[in-house]
Amino acid sequence: MILLLLACGNNGVAVLDTPEEIPAELRDDDEDGFVAEEDCDDDDPDSNPDGEEGTAPDGADNDCDGYEDEFEVGCDGVTEDIMEAVGIVEDGMTILVCPGTYREDLVLDGRELTIQSMEGPKDTTIEGSGDTSVVSMENAEIGLIGFTVREGVATNGGGIYAKSSNLTVDDCIVEDNSATEYGGGIYVIDTPADILNSTVEGNSAYEGGGIWSQGQVTIQGNEIVENHCTSLNESEAYHGADGGGGGLFYRGRVDVLDNVIARNVSEVNGGGIYSLDASGDFIGNTVEDNETWEDGAGHYANYSSETFEDNVFEDNFAHDDAGGLRIYVGSVEIRRNHFEGNGCNDDGGGLKLSHANNTIDDNTFIENYAGDSGGGVELDNDVSTLENATFKGNRAYRGAAVNSKENFSANRLRDLVFEDNEASGAGGAIYLYDNAYTTTIERIWVDGGDAPFGAAIAGSNANLVLRNAMIRDQDGDAIELTESTGNIGNVIIDYCSGTGVVSDGAYTLWNGIFTRLEIGVEGPASVSYTSFYDNDYDGDSASGTGVIDDDCELTSDYELGSGSPCIDAGSPDVDDKDGTRSDLGYHGGPNAP
């Protein structure tokens, strides 16, 4: 249809505008009876509001409803059954489903389809028969968008089963499904998959109560909550550890991003998550209120190589080890995570690592607790580097903040802050136990703390090298060693109710400041270049080359005042960072903060 506009010229004769002069929105270039502002494609006469979609894809939105190549189910369409529509359309089509409850099982083997609801998962439900998976596929490419999937029961994948396929699950609710083996809600094997923006809730299985996946998978933006697993006995296949994963089990290259994983339960390991031989990124997740009857209430990583960054592990509880995160062997990076309120009956309230050498950097550990050792962190036969961390209000019997035991080579703890951690047995901040190799601790600040044996640092059959430590306000002996060796330099120990350093074995102490203590040092110490002042008793060993009793004139930040006699009073064999002779105390020496 061509719209002709008449206008009068100067001589009063009507002038006919050409089609090119008609406003674009009022033209009907494809002559289908709809001007451009009404038409979705004014170059195609088959695409208009009165058009019809077929059963084969042509890449066009023929009926101008915003969808290309769709076939409608319900809403008085050709069929009221999704599975019947699957049999009608060709591959490449979108099955668009009207609101309602569809009681059927979808078998999508070999198909390439998108199945999408019009109004979202709260209004559109696929409810299974209870005899098999609600949605299953092999050798398929499927997008499932905007459904509640529920009431499936199967061996694997009660809600969704995908094998050797390509799967996208987006904006779905997968709930109240079960599997007698793997993946109560979703089971994915040998299938690239994206599980996005969905809720996986109230599902159960022996393993992977919510989701079980093996392959290249992205799990992002989901809520995985209140799922449950009991686990098969597969310890031999799983490097000697039982499986689990109340909320999620995965193996292979898997990225787990920005999910909430909460209130899941495992009767074995991994209350929230269990990963096995996995690689990928575990980033930006909130893992909270999960429970396991064995290890790793938040997450159990078994022989995995993963990056853990910017996650929150909170209020998870393990009946054995590792309330927050359990790392067993593997090669991992743990950065910028927050561990708070996690607990366990045995070791590693916040985090437990075993048999590896990993990087643990820039994390916080707040009010975690362990029945035995490592309220914040447990290093068990492990030599991971722990650095740039804050520990506050953690509790345990031994090593309220950090417990390091049975290291298989030298390990290092550095740049750590401890505040008000409390051990009922030993090591209010750090406990070293049966470490045959040297543990080097440097640049630590310990404020407040309590333990009957070593309110700040305790060692039993250990080899301690301590550099640049600020220890104050301890309820008890600050550093206590038994059957251990110690080399302690550039420390300040101030205002403790007991002894600064006490040991039953020989140790070396240099470049230190000991003030406002009941006793400065006890035991067979070799002391040099250290100041003892304002103590009730400096100790029998508080003498030697360079030992003084001068007030070091400490500032509120425990730096030396400008006129302090402790400036350049350290060992002449040790320089400060500026190349001058070393100062006494925390800010002296080459390793000063």
- According to the model, what pLDDT value does residue 53 have? 58
Out of 223-237, 293-307, 406-420, which region has the weakest mean confidence (pLDDT)? Answer: 223-237
- Angle subtended at Cα 42 by Cα 37 and Cα 47, rounded to the nearest 5 degrees: 105
Mean pLDDT in residue range 88-97: 96
Decide if 490 contacts 531 (C-beta within 8 A): no
Decide if 115 contacts 137 (C-beta within 8 A): no
C-alpha span between 498 and 505 (Å, rounded): 18
Q: Which helix (H) or strand (E) holds 402?
A: strand 402-405
Q: Is the pLDDT of residue 5 over 60?
A: no
pLDDT more than 70, % of the chain: 88
Q: Is the pLDDT of residue 373 over 70?
A: yes
Mean pLDDT in residue range 131-137: 98
Residue 105 or residue 53, greater confidence: 105
- According to the model, what pLDDT value does residue 23 have? 74
Mean pLDDT in residue range 290-298: 97
- According to the model, what pLDDT value does residue 2 have? 39
User: Quick one: which of 218, 215, 214, 161 has its CA closest to 184?
Assistant: 161
C-alpha span between 510 and 488 (Å, rounded): 6
Binning pLDDT at 50, 70 and 90, where does residue 21 land?
Answer: confident
* 57-205 topology per CATH: Pectate Lyase C-like (2.160.20)
Binning pLDDT at 50, 70 and 90, where does residue 317 land?
Answer: very high
Indicate the average pLDDT of the chain: 92
- According to the model, what pLDDT value does residue 484 have? 96
* CA 384 to each of CA 327, 353, 427, 467: distance values in angstroms, whole numbers, following the listed order: 11, 8, 19, 19
Binning pLDDT at 50, 70 and 90, where does residue 241 land?
Answer: confident
Mean pLDDT in residue range 180-205: 97
Mean pLDDT in residue range 282-290: 98
425, 431, 435, 440 alpha-carbon torsion, rounded to 10°: -160
Out of 15-19, 125-129, 361-365, which region has the weakest mean confidence (pLDDT)? Answer: 15-19
Give per-residue pLDDT as tens, 430-488.
999 999 999 999 999 999 999 999 999 999 999 999 999 999 999 999 999 999 999 99
Decide if 139 contacts 114 (C-beta within 8 A): no
pLDDT more than 90, % of the chain: 85
Listed as own residue / partner, the contacts of 572-581 with beta carbons closer than 8 Å and 24 or more positions apart are: 574/489, 574/510, 574/511
pTM check: above 0.85: yes
Pairing between β-strand 94-97 and β-strand 112-117 as defined by DSSP bridges: parallel
One-letter amino acid of 412: R
Decide if 566 contacts 560 (C-beta within 8 A): yes
Out of 8-17, 93-102, 234-243, 450-459, which region has the weakest mean confidence (pLDDT)? Answer: 8-17
Domain ranges of the chain: 1-51, 57-205
Q: Is the pLDDT of residue 238 over 50?
A: yes
Out of 1-15, 99-113, 209-223, 523-537, which region has the weakest mean confidence (pLDDT)? Answer: 1-15
Give per-residue pLDDT as tens, 391-417.
999 999 999 999 999 999 999 999 999
Give per-residue pLDDT as tens, 535-589.
999 999 999 999 999 999 999 999 999 999 999 999 999 999 999 999 999 999 9
